């Protein structure tokens, strides 16, 4: 017997919608649809489970395909109450950063490092979530989100590494690049001012520093090998990175993108740069 209510359309209550909004599920679904509207972008998976020192779940994996070179973009979606919160970042002492991790069937695992020059976005070392309602700043929300994304992306790379090296699989000249992307609707600011004015006695900045709004930036996030892991593929890159890049061996470069600028970030010009960039000295 057919349930008469099974096919009847209905609306969730305001209370149900508010409860789901707190988990950011609608935001993730909206980002998923936005990616599907971008030409040459394919959705590989949603809610993909991987392992890197523990079980990790990736919000979205998308792929930009060009010949034998694929760019995999691993997305973490972090919704914030945009009218209440700002994400404020500070520049890293070095503006050289990893564009992507790379895997080749012939060479193995490596990275592409470049020096930050326009039009590349600012390269930052840390970020704080500022809550306007109570005037408090907290580094933990951004740090935890970056750690979650780093683990998910590295777990995905490890899975692809196994596929590249599957016993009996013939050698391949395919190249894959992997890029972690955090999408948020929070306002993004980067402190621009030289911070020599900070007091060595109090440790405080005496006057408000200048900052600039940005649509996306690069966050260098330290992510050491989890204690539960015996082996980390990052320890054996090929070729071995130059001495100037040794400190980034266990540091992930995460693209933090404001949702309203996602189409710009995913433009073909930018994707082609991510696909074809070569390491600079």
Each residue's pLDDT tens digit, 97-122: 999 999 987 778 899 999 976 567 89
| 175 or 87, which is more confident | 87
Confidence of residue 243 (pLDDT cuts 50, 70, 90): confident
Number of domains in the chain: 1
| 174 or 61, which is more confident | 61
DSSP-H helix ranges across 165-266: 262-265
pLDDT of residue 49: 94
Domain for residue 56, yes or no?
Answer: yes
Residue 171 has pLDDT above 70, yes or no: no
3-state secondary structure of 274: helix
Strands (E), 10-54: 41-51
Tell me the pTM.
0.91
Domain for residue 32, yes or no?
Answer: no
Domain for residue 139, yes or no?
Answer: yes
Kind plus residue range of the DSSP H or E element containing 74: strand 69-78
Domain for residue 20, yes or no?
Answer: no
Domain for residue 27, yes or no?
Answer: no
* First-last CA distance in the chain: 71
Domain for residue 15, yes or no?
Answer: no
Domain for residue 145, yes or no?
Answer: yes
Domain for residue 7, yes or no?
Answer: no
Domain extent for 46 = 40-276
* Number of H-type helices and E-type strands within the chain: 5, 13
pLDDT of residue 83: 66
């Amino acid at each position: 017997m057919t349930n008469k209510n099974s096919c009847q359309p209905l609306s969730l209550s305001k209370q149900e919608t508010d409860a789901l909004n707190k988990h950011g599920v609608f935001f993730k679904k909206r980002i998923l649809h936005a990616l599907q509207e971008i030409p040459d972008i394919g959705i590989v998976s949603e809610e993909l489970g991987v392992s890197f020192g523990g079980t990790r779940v990736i919000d979205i994996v998308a792929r930009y395909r060009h010949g034998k070179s694929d760019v995999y973009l691993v997305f973490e979606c972090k919704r914030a109450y945009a009218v209440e919160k700002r994400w404020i970042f500070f520049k890293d002492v070095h503006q050289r950063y990893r564009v992507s991790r790379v895997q080749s069937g012939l060479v193995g695992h490596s990275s592409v490092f470049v020096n930050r020059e326009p039009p590349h976005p600012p390269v930052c070392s840390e970020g704080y979530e500022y809550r306007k309602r109570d005037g408090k700043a907290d580094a933990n929300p951004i740090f935890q989100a970056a750690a979650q994304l780093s683990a998910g992306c590295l777990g995905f790379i490890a899975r692809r590494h196994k596929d590249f090296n599957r016993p009996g699989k013939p050698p391949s000249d395919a190249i894959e690049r992997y890029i972690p992307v955090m999408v948020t609707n929070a306002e993004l600011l980067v402190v621009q001012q030289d911070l020599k004015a900070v007091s060595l006695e109090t440790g405080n900045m005496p006057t408000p520093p200048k900052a600039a709004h940005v649509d996306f930036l690069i966050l260098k996030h330290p992510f050491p090998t989890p204690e539960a892991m015996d082996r980390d593929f990052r320890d054996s890159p090929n070729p071995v990175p130059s001495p100037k890049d040794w400190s980034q061996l266990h540091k992930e470069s995460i693209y933090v993108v404001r949702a309203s600028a996602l189409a710009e970030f995913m433009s073909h010009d930018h994707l082609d740069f991510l696909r074809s960039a070569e390491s600079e000295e």
